[in-house]
C-alpha cells in the first residue's frame, strides 16, 4: 500500500474494507482471458462479496452471476448483470425467491432436490413460464479443504446423490414447466491443489458416460467454484493461476459435442483485492504476551474465529523494531482473535493495521453482534 493511500486512511473512520480496484481489474482481466481461451462461461459467486461497487466492476467484464438467494438475484440484476447469465443455487429456495427469479427470467436454477423442482414447476406454471434447471450432483469427491467448506461428499446436504440421478432426470422430463438443461457440481472452496479438480473432471466423465449409455446428454455442465488463493505468501503472486485451473478442465473433461462449460468463481476473483483496515485502540501487556486491541472485531471479519483462517496482518504506520503480539478485537468472546504470536513493528495506540486477503467472505459475513456498526468500505477510485 503506498504512502498516499495510507495518508488517506488517516482521515477515515475505522474499521473499513479497502478495495484495491487496480488489482481487482487485473484479476478479472486474467480470469476472463483464460476462460475465453477455451470458450468457458464464467459466473461470479456473489456470496463472496456483494458490495455494489465490486459488482459494477465485475459485470463490466461480461461475467455472469451465481446467486444463492432472491436478494442476491435482485442485486445482481440491479448492478448490471444480465439475467440470461444468472444462475441461482441453494438447498432452500423459498417460494418468494423462486417467483422473483422466474420473474427476472434468469438463465438457470441449480436444483438440489425433487421437492424443490416440483415447487419450481408449480410456480412456473402459475406465472406461465418454463424454468430452465440444472441438477446439482453430489459427486462424492473430497475437496481436501476445511471441513466447513467441503460440499461434495456424501455426508453433505448438497445436491442429488449419484444413485438418484437417473430417477431425478426421469421426473424432470415429466414436469411440464421444467426444462432440464444441465448438471451442476461444486465440491468445496479454497482448493489449492489442482489435482482435486482433475479428480472432479474424471468423476464427471464417468457420470456422463453412464448417462450417455441411456441416451441422456445435457447441453450444460457447471463445475461450480472453489479455486483457492494464497493467504500467507504475498510474494507468491496475488493473481491466482487461472491459466492452469481452466487448462485442467480443458485437458481432463471430455465435453460432448457442443456442450457448454460454466464456472462460478468467488474467492479467486475478489479475495486478494480487499483488506480490513482498523486502528489500534490499546496495547495491553499481559503476563506472558502483549495484546494489540483493534477497533475491528470478529463481527467485521468472521473467518479467523469461524474457521481458524489465517490472514496476514500488517502495521501500516510503524516500521520497527519487531515484537510479538496477539491481535484481538473488542468483542466479548475469546475467539475474537485475528492472529496469535504475530511479529509486527512496535505498535502503539492510533496505528493503522491492515488485515489482508479479506475481499472474499469478509464484508458480506459482517454482523452487528454486540450492536456494533457494520464496517464501511473505501475505494481508491
Ligand atoms: N458455487 C457454489 C454452489 C458455492 O456454494 C460456492 C461457495 C461457490 C460457487 C463459490 O466458491 P469459491 O470460488 O468462492 O470457493 N465462507 C467460507 C466460504 C464458503 C463458500 C460457500 N460456497 C469462507 O470464508 O471460506
How far does residue 42's CA lie from ligand 1's centre (Å)? Answer: 15
Residues 265 and 316 in one domain: no
Q: Comparing 30-34, 94-98, 159-163, 308-312, which segment has the lowest mean pLDDT? A: 159-163
Q: Which residues pair with 326 in a beta bridge?
A: 291
Question: What pTM value is reported for the model?
Answer: 0.96
**Angle, helices 242-252/194-213, rounded to nearest 10 degrees:** 30
pLDDT digits over 223-240, tens only? 999 999 999 986 788 999
In angstroms, rounded to a whole number, what is the distance separating the alpha carbons of residues 120 and 234? 45
In angstroms, rounded to a whole number, what is the distance separating the alpha carbons of residues 31 and 269? 8
| Percent of the chain with pLDDT strictly greater than 90 | 90
Residues 134 and 241 in one domain: yes
Residues 256 and 302 in one domain: no
**Average pLDDT score over residue span 167-195:** 97
pLDDT digits over 101-130, tens only? 999 999 999 999 999 999 999 999 999 999
Residues 293 and 237 in one domain: no
Residue 39 — left, alpha, or beta (φ > 0 → left; ψ -120 to 50 → alpha)? left
Last residue of a domain, one of 220, 254, 269: 269
Q: Count the Cβ atoms, other than its own, within 10 Å of residue 37.
A: 13
**208: CATH:** 3.20.20.10
On the question of pLDDT at 146 being above 90, the answer is no
How far does residue 16's CA lie from ligand 1's centre (Å)? Answer: 23
| Percent of the chain with pLDDT strictly greater than 70 | 97
Q: Which atom of ligand 1 is nearest to the CA of 110?
A: 3
Residues 221 and 318 in one domain: no
Indicate which residue's Cα is closest to atom 1 of ligand 1: 224
In angstroms, rounded to a whole number, what is the distance separating the alpha carbons of residues 168 and 197? 25
How far does residue 91's CA lie from ligand 1's centre (Å)? Answer: 14
In angstroms, rounded to a whole number, what is the distance separating the alpha carbons of residues 325 and 226? 32
Q: Which atom of ligand 1 is nearest to the CA of 361?
A: 24
Q: Which residues sit in the known binding site for substrate?
A: 267, 303, 307, 333, 361
Last residue of a domain, one of 269, 288, 303: 269
Q: What are phi and psi of 195, to 5 degrees?
A: -65, -20
Q: Which residues line ligand 1 (CB under 6 A)?
A: 45, 47-48, 66, 89, 149, 186, 189-190, 224-227, 264-268, 303, 307, 360-361
**Average pLDDT score over residue span 330-345:** 97
In angstroms, rounded to a whole number, what is the distance separating the alpha carbons of residues 207 and 335? 43
Residues 320 and 240 in one domain: no
Q: What is the mean pLDDT of the chain?
A: 95
Q: Which atom of ligand 1 is nearest to the CA of 362?
A: 24
On the question of pLDDT at 269 being above 80, the answer is yes
Last residue of a domain, one of 235, 250, 269: 269
**Average pLDDT score over residue span 300-307:** 97
**Angle, helices 52-59/21-37, rounded to nearest 10 degrees:** 40
Q: Comparing 157-161, 178-182, 352-356, which segment has the lowest mean pLDDT? A: 157-161
pLDDT of residue 160: 94
Percentage helix, strand, coil for the chain under 3-state DSSP, each rounded to 5 = 35, 25, 40
pLDDT of residue 2: 85
On the question of pLDDT at 151 being above 80, the answer is no
DSSP secondary structure string, 303-372?
A: HHHHH-----EEESS----EEEEEEE-SSSSTT-EEEEEEEEE---TT-EEEE-S-TTTTGGG---GGGP
Q: Comparing 182-196, 227-241, 336-350, which segment has the lowest mean pLDDT? A: 227-241
Question: Strands 108-111 and 178-184: what pairing?
Answer: unpaired
Instruction: Tell me how far CA of residue 62 lies from CA of 44, 66, 281, 313, 320, in angstroms.
Output: 10, 13, 43, 34, 45
**Average pLDDT score over residue span 48-63:** 98
On the question of pLDDT at 176 being above 90, the answer is yes
Residues 217 and 314 in one domain: no
In angstroms, the first-to-last Cα distance of the chain is: 15
Which of these, 144, 130, 105, lies nearest to 228 by C-alpha position?
144
**Average pLDDT score over residue span 319-339:** 96
**Average pLDDT score over residue span 301-325:** 96
- For residues 356 and 275, the answer to whether their CB atoms sit within 8 Å is yes
**Average pLDDT score over residue span 314-342:** 96
Q: Which atom of ligand 1 is nearest to the CA of 269?
A: 13
On the question of pLDDT at 377 being above 80, the answer is yes
**Average pLDDT score over residue span 72-78:** 98
Give the residue numbers spanning the domain of 306: 3-16+272-378
Look at the chain and report how many structural domains it folds into. 2
- For residues 271 and 312, the answer to whether their CB atoms sit within 8 Å is no
- For residues 218 and 181, the answer to whether their CB atoms sit within 8 Å is yes
Indicate which residue's Cα is closest to atom 24 of ligand 1: 361
In angstroms, rounded to a whole number, what is the distance separating the alpha carbons of residues 226 and 145? 10
Residue 165 pLDDT grade (very low, low, confident, very high; cuts 50, 70, 90): very high
Residues 60 and 119 in one domain: yes
Residues 265 and 276 in one domain: no
Amino acid at each position: 500500500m503506498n504512502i498516499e493511500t495510507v495518508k488517506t486512511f488517516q482521515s477515515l473512520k475505522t474499521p473499513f474494507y479497502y478495495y484495491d480496484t487496480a488489482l481487482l481489474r487485473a484479476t478479472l482481466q486474467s480470469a476472463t482471458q483464460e476462460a475465453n481461451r477455451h470458450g468457458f462461461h464464467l459466473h461470479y459467486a456473489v456470496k463472496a462479496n456483494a458490495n455494489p461497487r465490486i459488482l459494477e466492476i465485475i459485470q463490466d467484464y461480461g461475467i455472469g452471476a451465481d446467486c444463492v438467494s432472491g436478494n442476491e438475484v435482485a442485486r445482481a440484476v440491479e448492478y448490471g448483470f444480465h439475467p440470461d447469465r444468472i444462475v441461482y443455487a441453494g438447498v432452500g429456495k423459498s417460494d418468494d425467491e423462486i417467483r422473483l427469479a422466474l420473474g427476472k427470467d434468469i438463465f438457470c436454477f441449480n436444483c438440489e432436490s425433487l421437492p424443490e423442482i416440483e415447487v419450481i414447476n408449480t410456480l412456473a406454471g402459475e406465472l406461465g413460464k418454463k424454468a430452465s434447471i440444472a441438477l446439482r450432483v453430489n459427486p462424492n469427491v473430497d475437496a481436501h479443504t476445511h471441513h466447513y467448506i467441503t460440499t461434495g461428499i456424501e455426508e453433505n446436504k448438497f445436491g442429488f446423490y449419484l444413485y438418484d440421478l437417473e430417477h431425478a432426470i426421469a421426473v424432470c422430463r415429466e414436469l411440464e414447466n421444467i426444462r432440464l438443461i444441465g448438471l451442476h457440481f461444486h465440491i468445496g472452496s479454497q482448493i489449492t491443489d489442482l489435482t482435486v479438480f482433475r479428480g472432479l473432471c474424471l468423476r464427471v466423465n464417468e457420470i456422463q458416460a453412464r448417462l450417455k449409455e441411456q441416451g441422456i446428454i445435457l447441453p450444460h455442465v457447471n463445475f461450480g467454484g472453489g479455486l483457492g488463493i494464497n493467504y500467507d505468501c504475498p510474494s507468491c503472486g496475488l493473481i491466482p493461476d487461472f491459466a492452469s485451473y481452466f487448462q485442467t478442465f480443458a485437458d481432463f473433461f471430455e465435453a460432448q459435442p457442443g456442450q457448454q462449460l460454466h464456472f462460478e468463481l468467488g474467492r479467486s476473483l475478489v479475495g486478494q483485492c480487499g483488506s480490513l483496515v482498523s486502528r489500534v485502540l490499546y496495547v495491553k501487556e499481559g503476563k506472558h504476551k502483549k495484546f494489540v486491541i483493534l477497533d475491528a472485531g470478529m463481527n467485521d471479519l468472521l473467518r479467523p474465529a469461524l474457521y481458524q483462517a489465517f490472514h496476514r496482518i500488517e502495521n501500516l504506520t510503524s516500521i520497527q523494531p519487531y515484537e510479538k503480539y496477539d491481535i484481538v478485537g473488542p468483542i466479548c468472546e475469546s475467539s475474537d482473535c485475528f492472529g496469535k504470536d504475530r511479529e509486527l513493528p512496535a505498535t502503539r495506540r492510533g496505528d493503522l493495521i491492515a488485515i489482508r486477503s479479506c475481499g472474499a467472505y469478509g464484508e458480506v459475513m459482517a454482523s452487528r453482534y454486540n450492536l456494533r456498526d457494520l464496517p464501511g468500505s473505501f475505494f481508491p477510485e
